[in-house]
Structure 1
Amino acid sequence: MRPVDPRLLRRARPARVFLAGSVLIGVATGLLVIVQAVLLARGISDVVLRDAGVGPVAWMLAAVIAVRAGLVWLQEVVAQRASAAVKSTLRRQVLEHSLKLGPAWLSGERSSRLTTLLTKGLDDLDPYFARYLPQLVLAATVPAGVIGWMATGDLIAAGTVLVTLPLIPVFMALVGWATQAHSRRRQRALEVLAHHFADVVSGLPTLKLFGRAKVQASAVRRVTDKHRAASMSTLRLAFMSSMVLELLASISVALVAVGVGLRLVEGRLGLETALMVLILAPEAYLPLRQVGAQFHASADGVAAAEEVLRVLETPLPVAGERADVPDLRRTPLYLHDVTVRYPDRSEPAVEGFDLELWPGEVVALTGRSGVGKSTLLAAILGFVTVERGVVVAGGSAADEFDPVLWRRQFGWVPQRPGLRVGTVADNVRLGRPDAADSQVRQALDAAGAAELALDTPVGEQGRLLSGGQQRRVALARALITEAPVLLLDEPTAGLDADTEATVIAGLRGTGRTVLLVAHRPTLLAAADRTVEVGARKSPIDRLVERELVTP
Structure 2
Amino acid sequence: PGQHGERHGDAQHELGEVAGEVGVQRVEHGPAWVAGQRAGQLATLAGRGLDALDPYFTGYLPQLVLSVTVPLAVLARIVLADWSSALIIALTIPLIPIFGALLGWQAQAATERQWRRLALLGGHFLDMVAGLPTLRAFGRARAQVDVVRRMADGHRVATMKTLRIAFLSALVLELVATLSVALVAVPVGIRLLGGGITLSTALLVLLLTPEAYLPLRAAGSRFHASMEGLTALDEALTVSAVPTAAAPTGAELPAPDGRGEIRFESVTVEYERTTALRDVTLTIRPGERIAVIGPSGAGKSTLLGLLLGFVTPTAGRVTVDGVDLAHVDRDAWRRQVAWVPQRAHLFAASLADNIRLGAPDAPDAALAAAVTDAALD
- The answer to whether 1:156 aligns with 2:84 is yes
**Paired residues of 2:258 and 2:320 also in contact (CA < 8 A):** no
- The answer to whether 1:366 aligns with 2:289 is yes
Residue 304 of structure 1 deviates from its aligned partner by 0.6
Identity %: 37
**Paired residues of 2:246 and 2:312 also in contact (CA < 8 A):** no
**Paired residues of 1:341 and 1:350 also in contact (CA < 8 A):** no
- The answer to whether 1:317 aligns with 2:240 is no
* Match in the other structure for 1:82: 15
* Match in the other structure for 2:165: 237
Number of equivalenced pairs? 356
Residue 186 of structure 1 deviates from its aligned partner by 1.8
1:11-90 map, 5 Å: 77-78=10-11, 80-90=13-23
- The answer to whether 1:179 aligns with 2:112 is no
**Paired residues of 2:267 and 2:317 also in contact (CA < 8 A):** no
* 2:115 maps to amino acid: Q
Question: Measured at CA, do residues 377 and 182 of structure 1 come closer, stay the same or move farther in structure 2, by a change above 3 Å?
Answer: closer
Q: Does the residue aligned with 1:175 lie in a helix, a strand or coil?
A: helix
Match of 1:412 among 335, 338, 354: 338
Distance 1:307 1:278 in 2: 45
Residue 166 of structure 1 deviates from its aligned partner by 1.6
Question: Measured at CA, do residues 410 and 149 of structure 1 come closer, stay the same or move farther in structure 2, by a change above 3 Å?
Answer: farther
* Match in the other structure for 1:257: 185
Residue 159 of structure 1 deviates from its aligned partner by 1.2
- The answer to whether 1:341 aligns with 2:246 is no
- The answer to whether 1:266 aligns with 2:177 is no
Q: Does the residue aligned with 2:292 lie in a helix, a strand or coil?
A: coil
- The answer to whether 1:226 aligns with 2:189 is no
Question: Measured at CA, do residues 181 and 209 of structure 1 come closer, stay the same or move farther in structure 2, by a change above 3 Å?
Answer: same
* 2:183 maps to amino acid: L
Match of 1:293 among 221, 242, 252: 221
1:338-372 Cα offsets, whole Å, 9 max, x none, are 63612334323436x7x7xxxxxxx5233453699
* 1:348 maps to amino acid: V
1:265-284 map, 5 Å: 265-284=193-212
1:493-544 Cα offsets, whole Å, 9 max, x none, are xxxxxxxxxxxxxxxxxxxxxxxxxxxxxxxxxxxxxxxxxxxxxxxxxxxx
Q: Which moved more, 1:170-179 or 1:116-125?
A: 170-179
**Paired residues of 2:308 and 2:334 also in contact (CA < 8 A):** no
1:285-342 Cα offsets, whole Å, 9 max, x none, are 11110111112211111111121021123524256565257899xx897559763612
**Paired residues of 2:111 and 2:228 also in contact (CA < 8 A):** yes
* 1:280 maps to amino acid: L
Residue 257 of structure 1 deviates from its aligned partner by 2.0
**Paired residues of 2:121 and 2:152 also in contact (CA < 8 A):** yes
What's the C-alpha RMSD, in Å, of the aligned pairs? 4.0
* Match in the other structure for 1:497: none
Distance 2:140 2:220 in 1: 47
TM-score, with structure 2 as normaliser: 0.76
Question: Measured at CA, do residues 87 and 155 of structure 1 come closer, stay the same or move farther in structure 2, by a change above 3 Å?
Answer: farther
Question: Measured at CA, do residues 417 and 444 of structure 1 come closer, stay the same or move farther in structure 2, by a change above 3 Å?
Answer: farther
* 2:25 maps to amino acid: R
* Match in the other structure for 1:450: 376
- The answer to whether 1:127 aligns with 2:46 is no
1:202-229 Cα offsets, whole Å, 9 max, x none, are 4444444454444433333232222223
* Match in the other structure for 1:63: none
Q: Which has the higher contact order (CA 8 A, sep 6+)?
A: 2
* 2:28 maps to amino acid: E
**Paired residues of 1:80 and 1:129 also in contact (CA < 8 A):** no
* 2:287 maps to amino acid: A
Distance 2:327 2:200 in 1: 78
**Paired residues of 1:154 and 1:273 also in contact (CA < 8 A):** yes
Match of 1:247 among 175, 197, 216: 175
* 1:86 maps to amino acid: A
1:132-153 Cα offsets, whole Å, 9 max, x none, are 1111222233223322332222
**Paired residues of 1:80 and 1:130 also in contact (CA < 8 A):** no
Distance 1:391 1:280 in 2: 75
Distance 1:450 1:379 in 2: 30
Match of 1:216 among 111, 124, 144: 144
Distance 2:135 2:334 in 1: 41
Distance 2:361 2:335 in 1: 18
* Match in the other structure for 1:11: none
1:454-469 map, 5 Å: none
